[in-house]
Amino acid sequence: MKKGKKKWIFIALASILVIFIISIIVILTNDELRFKFEYGMINYIPYENGEKIVIDIPFDNGIKYLEGEEIIDTFRNGTGIFYLGYSSCPWCRNIIEPLIEVAKENDMDTIYYVNVHDKKFDEIKDELKEILNDYLRVDEETNQKVLATPDVYFVKEGEIKTHHISTVESYRNPYRGMNDKQKNELKAIYQAGIEEIK
């Protein structure tokens, strides 16, 4: 291979690498893009039963990641919608589109996202459980209070006004999408929560 051709191949590969690195930095520093990428990536991964839950997260989704002590501070002092979940949770994947839609319809610019599988989450888990104690689900096997997902809290100036765990009563199989009636029922629950914090 000629020297000139090698040089151009090297420049092309270096350019591709630089573009890739810049793209990763942009995704990781922009919460909305990071969330779209994180949740969108799971669209292509089947669960153990072979099912996939494909969702379409908009670019302007309003998600702001909270991590570590920031979670505690924002819960204690903030106002807004707090979503506790994780990207591969099948129930979470079914609530996120209706939640984003209702937030947009109400001009709520931010949904605070707490990824309960994040490494930093373990550091504050017990403290958060103390804050959320009255709202936690009791595990039937252990009889202990647990953080369940998805769990959406509506908080005004550090006071939890209401919250909603899971989807709707009639929805039993997260591997099948909710029908329009179920989505509208869930959206009405979220709408009522937003009314509490306006």
pLDDT at res. 145 = 93
Average pLDDT over every residue of 162-187: 96
Q: Are the CB atoms for 157 and 77 separated by under 8 Å?
A: yes
- Whether 193 shows a pLDDT value over 90: the answer reads yes
pLDDT at res. 19 = 63
Q: Is the pTM of this model over 0.95?
A: no
Helices 69-77, 121-131: inter-axial angle, 10-degree rounding: 20
Answer positive or negative: Cα dihedral of 95, 101, 105, 106.
Answer: positive
Q: Are the CB atoms for 111 and 99 separated by under 8 Å?
A: yes
- Whether 1 shows a pLDDT value over 70: the answer reads no
Give tens-digit pLDDT for 73-124: 999 999 999 999 999 999 999 999 999 999 999 999 999 999 999 999 999 9
What is the rounded CA–CA span in Å between residue 136 and residue 151? Answer: 9
